[in-house]
Amino acid sequence: MSDDLSTDQLAALTEGLRDLLGPDGWLDPTDAPQLTVDYRGFYSGVPVLITRPDTVDGVRDVVVACAAAGVAVVTQGGRTSLSGGSVPTDYRPSVLLSTSRLNRITSVDPARFTITVEAGCTIEQVQQAAAAVDRQLGMDWGARGTATVGGAISTNAGGLNVLRYGPTRDSVLGLEAVLADGEVFDGMRALRKDNTGYDLKHLFIGGEGTLGVVNRAILKLFPRQDHHRTLFAALADLDHVNDLYARACALDHGGLTAFELVPESGLVGAVEVLGVVRPLETQAEWYLLARFSGSSPVDDTALTFLSAAVEAGLLLDAVVADTAAQEENLWLLRDELPPETLFDAKGAKFDAAVPIDRVAEFQRRTEVIAHDLCGPETVVFSFGHLGDGNLHMYVLKSLERGSRLEPDLIVEATRAIDRLVWEMGGTVSAEHGVGQDLLDRVAGQKSTVELDMMRRVKEALDPDNLFNPDRGAHSALSRKEGIG
Ligand SMILES: Cc1cc2nc3c(=O)[nH]c(=O)nc-3n(C[C@H](O)[C@H](O)[C@H](O)COP(=O)(O)OP(=O)(O)OC[C@H]3O[C@@H](n4cnc5c(N)ncnc54)[C@H](O)[C@@H]3O)c2cc1C
């Protein structure tokens, strides 16, 4: 694919696409500048045209025309991903393919627990359609009102319900995608079992838009879980989390729907800044925020778990939310923990996961690295999805409002802590994909063999590097040298 397209060639492409798609099917980038910048404002790029097809044929038209012209296609859903995958780059002419008009719920089948949707439907839209037939979608996270099914599939998004329903991958029964040569991969099968060779839909799940455009999907639904008990507990020691998790799972594995870590400094910040009510008088360095859910009451489960854990000395104190207001207070605390929100503090940031039995070791070893590299007053602020071993971890200069870790220390700390993650058998991206953000960091984590397998898949399905060029894990191979 050539990077040196003439102005005339690009004008011919955009004119042709406008004619094909009709007046509602495209936007001039100058009329929608917000679509050219990523959620965090870190990455931006101006496409030659923003296209908005509303049918599979329209998607095919865009792909085929771009392939013929040698112009890249960057697919965009709700633009909420956090690693720079959904915006065009400036160094390569590209067309943005927005799925905003592929937003129809095609059918809901409560008896078979499935829903068929177009890729541009938001997660909230699908949740509401499921609730209307007394069913529940497994997928859920803070960006539900904007994030789309296509984006969730392409980033294999996790979120708040991973313990119970798994990441997005576990909710996808079938999907349809347009390939680089314009062929349509029809994997719209709602079968729960199908052992007939490679399960090709998985190439697109977590594929970050690098292998095709996902048009439609069949998602699993679940019985509604209307009974919840959320508890907040002071940990006697961070080392106990593995034992606590095993106890909670053994008691009610499917019923444990959240198992989150909260630091004391985060609790203090949330009380001061957000007016969160302190749930416990007892102070500890770390707290557990957990929830049991079910189709029938789960009060006994929560109380049995807590009393046994306190008796075993794993918890110092605990409380169960008794009212909707108390429950809301606990989830407000959890949702607003990022230090950017609480303290306007910025530093080195990690979305890492390690095996849950090594979470405490990971926190301690990170503190040692951070103190050695950045000074003894440095804070390692961690919170998040403890049950998945997934910590949202920040190395901060301090917890003072507006604190900033120096850029060179961010680079050094990131490099050293990434190495620790690799050594501990973890991942530098538990949830947010690779995008443009993590190419070097993924290159260090994955073996040459693994990266080369990804490269070969990409070359087989998209030999001209049409889709989302220069992002996604397969692009990391060229960066492997020297990182090791
Ligand atoms: C407040 C907030 C909370 C969040 N919480 C979580 C969380 O708990 N867990 C989590 O995993 N993520 C979380 N995210 C990240 C984000 O919401 C997810 O990554 C989401 O899946 C992205 O969906 P999107 O529609 O916004 O995709 P986009 O950002 O538009 O795109 C993401 C990637 O998918 C590709 N893509 C999009 N649609 C298609 C398609 N139809 N076909 C092919 N490729 C496509 C894009 O090219 C890009 O590479 C959060 C984000 C925010 C802002």
Q: Whose CA is nearest to atom 14 of ligand 1?
A: 81
Instruction: Provide the CATH number for the domain around residue 110.
Output: 3.30.465.10
Q: Which residues, at least 6 apart from 97, have a Cβ–Cβ distance to it below 8 Å?
A: 51, 53, 59, 62, 63, 73, 74, 75, 76, 213
- 344 and 314 in one domain? no
**Which stretches of the chain score pLDDT less than 50?**
1-2, 484
Which two tokens mark 268? Answer: 């203090």
Q: What is the DSSP annotation of 134-164?
A: TEEES-B-TTTTT-BHHHHHHHT--BTTHHH
Residue 429 lies in a domain: no
Q: What is the pLDDT of residue 42?
A: 87
Rounded to whole angstroms, the Cα distance separating 313 from 329 reads 26
Q: Is 155 in the pocket of ligand 1 (CB under 6 A)?
A: yes
Q: Are residues 242 and 216 in the same domain?
A: no
From 51, 73, 86, the mutation candidate for ligand 1 (largest count of ligand atoms within 8 A of CB) is: 86
Domain-embedded: residue 484: no
Q: What is the CATH number of the domain that holds 294?
A: 3.30.70.2190
225 lines ligand 1 (CB under 6 A): no
The verdict on the CB of residue 138 being under 6 Å from ligand 1 is: no
Domain limit, last residue, from 317, 335, 353? 335
* pLDDT score, position 484: 47
Q: Are residues 18 and 61 in the same domain?
A: yes
Both 247 and 349 in one domain: the answer is no
What is the span of the domain harbouring residue 395?
339-423
207 Cα nearest atom in ligand 1: 44
Same domain, 374 and 458: no
The total of structural domains in the chain comes to: 5
Q: Same structural domain for residues 72 and 24?
A: yes
Q: Domain for residue 32, yes or no?
A: yes
CATH number at residue 379: 3.30.70.2740
Q: Is residue 432 part of a domain?
A: no
CA 461 / ligand 1 centre spacing (Å): 22
In a domain, 71, yes or no: yes
Q: Is residue 482 part of a domain?
A: no
Taking the centre of ligand 1 as the mean of its atom positions, its distance from the CA of residue 451, in whole angstroms, is: 22
Do 218 and 181 belong to one domain?
yes
Q: Quick one: 299 and 371 in the same domain?
A: no
Q: Report the pLDDT value the prediction gives residue 276, as an integer from 0 to 100.
A: 95
Q: Is residue 2 part of a domain?
A: no
Same domain, 312 and 393: no
- Residue bearing the CA closest to ligand 1, atom 37: 151
Query: How much is the pLDDT for 3?
Result: 55
Q: What is the pLDDT of residue 336?
A: 86
Q: Which of 146, 155, 471, when mutated, tests ligand 1's pocket best, judged by the most ligand atoms within 8 Å of its CB?
A: 155
Going by alpha carbons, the residue nearest to atom 44 of ligand 1 is 209
Which pLDDT value is given to residue 100?
A: 98
CATH number of the domain bearing residue 82: 3.30.43.10
238 in the same domain as 314: yes
pTM (2 d.p.): 0.92
Last residue of a domain, one of 311, 335, 359: 335
Residue 1: its pLDDT value, please? 45
Do 216 and 180 meet the contact criterion of CB atoms below 8 Å apart? Answer: no
Last residue of a domain, one of 190, 223, 256: 223
Residue 405 placed within a domain: yes
Contacts of 350 (CB under 8 A, 6+ apart): 391, 392, 393, 394, 414, 417, 421, 428
Ligand 1 centre to CA of 43 (Å) is: 15
